[in-house]
Homo-oligomer: A and B are copies of this chain.
Amino acid sequence: MTERSPQPGRRPGNPDTRETILRSARELFADQGFASVTVRQIAAHASVDPALIHHYFDTKERLFLEAVQFPIDPSMLLSQIFRGDLAGFPERLVRTFISVWDDPVTGQAMRSLIRRAASDPQTGRLVKDFFTTQIVATVRDVTSEIIDPDELPVRASLVASQLLGLALVRYVLEFDPLHTASPESLIAAIAPTIARYLFDADLPLPTDDPPARDTTH
């Protein structure tokens, strides 16, 4: 089958070939983790030339984002959010997060993704792996002078717990009154939580160390 010549901008390509590549990517990413899978391995698994993957998807990250139907490019958003004063970062993060979920188009894709991530273990592993490697790495590059890189994974996952919980309660379960609360009023309530998790030097950081005493009583 002759592949079409490159198009400027979006490159839909042959739908069957694209879908074969996406299916192989989902499987390998979920099994082995985003970082350790190469484009060459995905190409071999899908029986296509690696150049074709770069032609259709540009980068491994973009291939991943299409594989999980993630509607936005999180590294681009994050670098926008990090532009500006440090004190305003938590507020910009919550505002951007809410605007992506409030938007009819990206919001629907995000709701669909969180539903699949919660109910389908393969999608769950993809999201977890992408967050704990790629997103944390992007944030680490930008914040290494203000957040101890060793502390970043645990601080970032606390932030994720609050933001994904907000998404679950506001957009999926639709708990009143958070479901209908205005974005600005949510930002005012939640941004200080994010600031504490990211920047507070006195935050007791969760660790794997077992507690000294039984915690169930």
Contact = CB atoms under 8 A, between A and B. Distances in A.
A210 B182 contact: yes
A30 interface: no
A189 B208 contact: no
A204 B177 CA distance: 14
A124 B173 contact: yes
A127 B161 contact: no
Contact of A196 (B132, B193, B204, B211): B193
Contacts of A207: 177, 181-182, 185
Contacts of A185: 204-207, 209, 211
A204 B185 CA distance: 7
Counted per complex, copies of this chain come to 2
A58 interface: no
Nearest to A206: B181
Interface in A184-200: 184-190, 192-193, 196-197
B193 A175 contact: no
A185 to B, nearest CB: 4
A188 to B, nearest CB: 4
Contacts of A203: 189
Contacts of A166: 161, 165
Nearest to A133: B176
A204 B189 contact: yes
Interface in A88-134: 95, 98-99, 114-119, 124, 127-128, 131-132
Contacts of A157: 169, 175-178
A44 interface: no
A183 B129 CA distance: 23
A174 interface: yes
Interface of A: 95, 98-99, 114-119, 124, 127-128, 131-132, 153-154, 157-158, 160-166, 168-170, 172-178, 180-190, 192-193, 196-197, 203-211, 213, 215-216
